[in-house]
Structures are given as structure tokens and as C-alpha cells.
Amino acid sequence: MFRKFKKKYQNFIKDKFLITNFEGDSEEYEIFDSSVKRLTNPIGSSFEIGVRRGMGSKMIIDAYRKYHPNLNDYTHIGLDPYGELPYNFSEDRKFNKEHDYTNLMKREMIINFSKKYKEFNFVNLDTVEFFKRFQDGYPIYSKVKKIINKFELVHFDGLHDIENVTMEVDYFLNHLSNQTIFILDDIDTFDFESIKNKLYKKNFKLIENGKRKASFEYRS
């Protein structure tokens, strides 16, 4: 009874005063740092599917600031629909309620990034809608309109079934830079071997392979 009341009270305080922190619910976050470090001549465009509470995007941006501080026009795009939609965590199960992607979570995430991460651009869409609308790239408006259609680092942490992961990978295979790194999350929840073979055929090399995450690198 007390725990239920405590949780309701904490949610009320968060909602009213918007007290927020970056949080993560995964492992092997160091892969973001090592991946950004590998970029030899970065163009300054990264992408994350599945922002949740923002820890992944934060660490990607932090790594860019650390290793490539002189990039003048770096843009990071975070894609997530939120809205408490059903979430396929793997081929055969779904997240339980404590992992709901709520609109309150979205508000907290936006506030966190707005404080000191001007590089972050949030897109409140699911992947199907995003890919449909922005087949030729995503527009950024800052004094002038710029179309970002090449990405050098992509973190795949959206729906974890092979159909969706394949769709996501196929989209970004059409938007490669001269050097691009793909980071796949929760690789134990879908047919990772299938994705690995697809990337090998596109001249990607496996760079890191952990329990939860794996990274691949492409060079033209």
C-alpha cells in the first residue's frame, strides 16, 4: 500500500515540477564512446531509434563533444513515438507496464535535452511513418534549411523483432556516409545472425560484439 502511494506521489511531483534525470535501462553503454571515437573524418550526423529516457542519445552526444569538439554543425536525431503504444521487446514477448513509453516520460526527456543539448533534435514518430515521410532525408532548420540524408552513426533500439529491425537497417543502408557505424541493441531478442549476414554483404565489418549490443563499421 505504501509503495503504491509512494509511486503515485513521485509521479505527481515529477508531473507538477518536472524533476527529471537521464536514465538508462540497458547495458554496455561504453560502446557509444568507442564507436564515436572511431570516426576519422566525421560529417556530424547521428541517429537513435528508441530514445526512451535519453541515456543513449546523451552518451552519443557527449562522445561527439569529447572526440570531435570542433564540429561546427553536428546534429543528432532521436526518434520515438511514446504515447504508451504496445512495444515488442522481442519476437515472442512484450515489455511489462514498468517499461511503458508514456507521454510524461517524453516530456521529461525533452526538458532534459533542452537544458544543455542543442545538438539534439527529437522526432515524435514511429519508424514506419518517419521512413515514409523522409525517404530522401530529414530537414533541419537553423537560419537555412538543411537536408540530412547521410548518417555516420546509427543506434537501433526500437522494436526488437526481425521484421522491424530489417526495415530499419534497410532504410539506413540507403543513407550511408563514407564511414558509418551501426550499433544494434538487445541483439539476443531477434535473429541477429540474419542482420549480421545482411551487413556483411554490404561490406560492413563487426567491430564489437557484447551480450546486449554489437557495432558494425562501413567504409567506402
Q: Which domains does the chain have, with CATH numbers?
A: 20-219 (3.40.50.150)
Q: Counting beta carbons within 10 angstroms of the beta carbon of residue 6, is it exposed (0 to 12), middle (13 to 18) or buried (19 or more)?
A: exposed
Looking at residue 18, its pLDDT comes to 47
More confident residue, 25 or 29: 29
Task: Find, among 111, 110, 46, 115, the residue nearest to 80 by Cα.
Answer: 110
Distance spanning both ends of the chain, measured CA to CA = 59
3-state helix, strand, coil in the chain (%, to 5): 40, 25, 35
pTM summary value: 0.85
- Three-state secondary-structure class, residue 158: coil
Phi, psi of 122 (to 5 degrees): -95, 135
187, 157 contact by CB (below 8 A): no
Sign, Cα dihedral of 9, 10, 11, 14:
positive
Residue 114 has pLDDT above 70, yes or no: yes
CA distance 207 to 217: 7
CA distance 96 to 112: 25
Looking at residue 191, its pLDDT comes to 95
What percentage of the chain has pLDDT greater than the value 70? 81
- Three-state secondary-structure class, residue 25: coil
CB hemisphere CA count around 124 (13 angstroms): 11
CA distance 220 to 218: 7
More confident residue, 81 or 19: 81
Mean pLDDT for 93-113 is 73
Strand partners, 176: 151
- Stated as kind and residue range, the H or E segment containing 209 is strand 204-209
Q: In sequence order, what are the residues at sequence separation of 6 or more whose Cβ sits closer than 8 angstroms to the Cβ of residue 167?
A: 127, 128, 131
Residue found under cell 540530412? 148
- Residue range 60-99, pLDDT digits in tens: 999 999 999 999 899 999 999 987 765 555 555 544 444 5
Residue 42, C-alpha cell as written in the block: 566525421
- Residue range 172-205, pLDDT digits in tens: 999 999 999 999 999 999 999 999 999 999 999 9
Q: Counting beta carbons within 10 angstroms of the beta carbon of residue 67, is it exposed (0 to 12), middle (13 to 18) or buried (19 or more)?
A: middle
Looking at residue 61, its pLDDT comes to 97
